[in-house]
Amino acid sequence: MTARSTYAPLTGEQRRNYRLTVANGSLVMMGFTFIAFDSILAGLAYDLTGSTLCVGLLVTGASIGWLWPQMLVGNRIECRERKMPIYRATVSVRLGAMVVMLAAILFLSAMPRTLYAAILVCAIVMSSAGGVCSIPFMDIVAKAIPADHRSMVFAWRRLLGGLLGFLAGLLAARVLADDSSVAYPYNYAVLVGGGLVGMSLAYHAFLQIREPIEPVERRPRPFRDFLRGGFALFREDRDFRLLYLFRLFHSLGLMSQILLVPFVMDVFDAHVKTTGLFAAAMALASGLSSMVWGRISKRFGEVWTFRVATALLVLTPLSMLAMAVLAESDGTRDWISAHYLWVCLILLALYTGGRCGTDMANMVYLMSMAPSEKRPLYMAMMNTLSAPLVLFPTLAGGLVTLTSYAATFALSCIALVIALGVASRMGHRRM
């Protein structure tokens, strides 16, 4: 590793944008902890359907919408000097979908399959609107925050958001407990309402940023030319190719994480209230680890963050594989059943810490490799082609049905080792 040189200080306007961006991310993390798709709503989905495939479909639906619209709107956004109006419109759609989800929980609780379908549709709408707003968001952040300070912006977002999310997760665990004064379905309605408040405040904070203006092409390129330019990136930019390959194997490796809740409920008779504790642990681990990843990225670059974080991520499916194998023995299964909560909290901390590092590096690395005039193209192409990768959680649910938990966890281990090899070939980029 070689350390980098010192960086120029922020101006007054840049400091203001820095703080508002941090506030936005912190409140978004808190809001999403209340409705965490991979823990709280995964537990609800499993209770409603009893199907790991439906759990995987929910997580996939919550992810795929984030990616599929970006290529369709990227060339339209690319030619706009001001991206904030697009951001404002799309976050309004996201909040509207949350209101519908809240109403569905209140009025459809007697029809579990219908309620599951409503939650799934709301998740897809929320994430689709998020996919559109991510392009203006990333462009605004890239213009408002100098490249040398971006890694620490995302680190602070994760740290403060992790602490707020930890408190939100503890509240969620209390609301979902058997002796809670809030009965079903009002307990889940309280959590969705908390998420709605948190995200409303988050979006309001980001809308206060004064968006810098940079030169753009006045006319949108024909979609065919935009698409051709996107595919040309694979031919011309080696690191762009490697980043996509990393995302491919990284996503395949992480598919097992959404199975942890069904796994412990199936094998160790875990209670649904533990999903709140899981969400709290994930938020706290994300927050505390973010400053480590931010310092590594700032001092040594995002490539080293990819490498160290991926090495850490391998430990999670490896440990889950060990649990699945050991659970075949009655004596061992009884011991794990008595201590599964602490084992799972440690695993989720490892997973979330590593995932925090790769997520931060993904955002900053992609933002930094793209020339300013091609930033929407880089973002749209990478994220659109990553859309099929979010089918892996559904694949994981199907693999468990066809094979076993152990086989699915083993496949995740292999994929993450390959992702680590890809990360070792990436070059340092900063624009």
In a domain, 218, yes or no: no
- Nearest-5° Cα angle at 216, 210 to 222: 130
Classify residue 276: in a domain, yes or no: yes
Total length of the chain: 431
- Name the most confidently modeled range: 321-325, 326-330, 354-358: 354-358
Low-confidence winner among 71-80, 97-106, 116-125, 154-163 (lowest mean pLDDT): 71-80
In whole angstroms, give the CA distance from residue 91 to residue 313. Answer: 31
Measured CA to CA, the distance from residue 2 to residue 160 in angstroms comes to: 29
What pLDDT is recorded for position 430?
55
The tens digit of pLDDT for each residue in 353-401 reads: 899 899 889 888 988 887 777 777 888 888 778 877 877 877 887 888 8
Q: What is the pLDDT of residue 287?
A: 77
- Give dist(CA 95, CA 408) in Å, integer: 35
User: Residue 5 has what pLDDT?
Assistant: 45
Which pLDDT value is given to residue 383? 79
Cα 322 to chain centroid distance, Å, stands at: 26
Domain that holds residue 90: 12-208+225-423
Closest to 259 measured CA to CA, from 100, 393, 410: 393
Asked whether residue 287 is domain-assigned, the answer is yes
How does residue 313 score in pLDDT terms, banded at 50, 70 and 90? very high
Q: Are 191 and 34 in contact (CB under 8 A)?
A: yes
Residue with tokens 């995200």: 199
From residue 304, how far is each of 176, 239, 311, 355 by CA, in Å?
Answer: 40, 14, 11, 14
Question: Residue 217 falls within a domain, yes or no?
Answer: no
pLDDT digits (tens, 9 = 90+) for 3-32: 454 567 788 888 999 999 999 999 998 998
Q: What is the pLDDT of residue 94?
A: 94
pLDDT computed for residue 7 by the predictor = 61
- Among all chains, which residue has been given the structure tokens 């980098």? 4
Instruction: Provide DSSP, 352-415.
Output: HHHHHHHHHHHHHHHHHHS-GGGHHHHHHHHHHHTGGGGGHHHHHHHHHHHS-HHHHHHHHHHH
154, part of any domain? yes
Residue 3 lies in a domain: no
Predicted confidence (pLDDT) per residue in 272-312, tens digit: 666 667 777 777 787 788 888 888 888 888 899 999 999 99
Cα–Cα distance, 68 to 269 (Å, whole number): 37
pLDDT over 50 at 269, yes or no: yes
Asked if pLDDT for residue 327 goes beyond 90, the answer is no
**Confidence band of 169 (pLDDT split at 50, 70, 90):** confident
Q: Which residues contact 236 (CB under 8 A, 6 or more apart)?
A: none
Task: Please report, for residues 51, 191, 398, the alpha-carbon distance to residue 392 in angstroms, rounded to integers and kept in the order given.
Answer: 16, 27, 10
CATH code of 403's domain: 1.20.1250.20
Contact 45/116 with Cβ under 8 angstroms? yes
Cα–Cα distance list, 1 to 218, 271, 341, 356, 374 (Å): 43, 45, 37, 21, 30
End-to-end CA distance of the chain: 20
Cα–Cα distance measured from residue 370 to residue 362, given in angstroms and rounded to the nearest whole number = 13
Query: Is the omega angle on the peptide bond into residue 185 within 30 degrees of 0, that is, cis?
Result: yes
Residue among 299, 431, 287, 428 nearest 359 (CA): 287
The pLDDT value recorded for residue 429 is 60
pLDDT the model gives residue 24: 96
DSSP 2: -
Residue appearing with tokens 């680890």 = 289
Verdict on whether the full-model pTM lies above 0.75? no
Question: What average pLDDT does the structure give for the chain?
Answer: 84
Amino acid type, 266: D
Residue 180, in any domain of the structure: yes
For residue 277, what pLDDT is reported?
Answer: 74
In a domain, 4, yes or no: no
Q: How many domains does the chain fold into?
A: 1
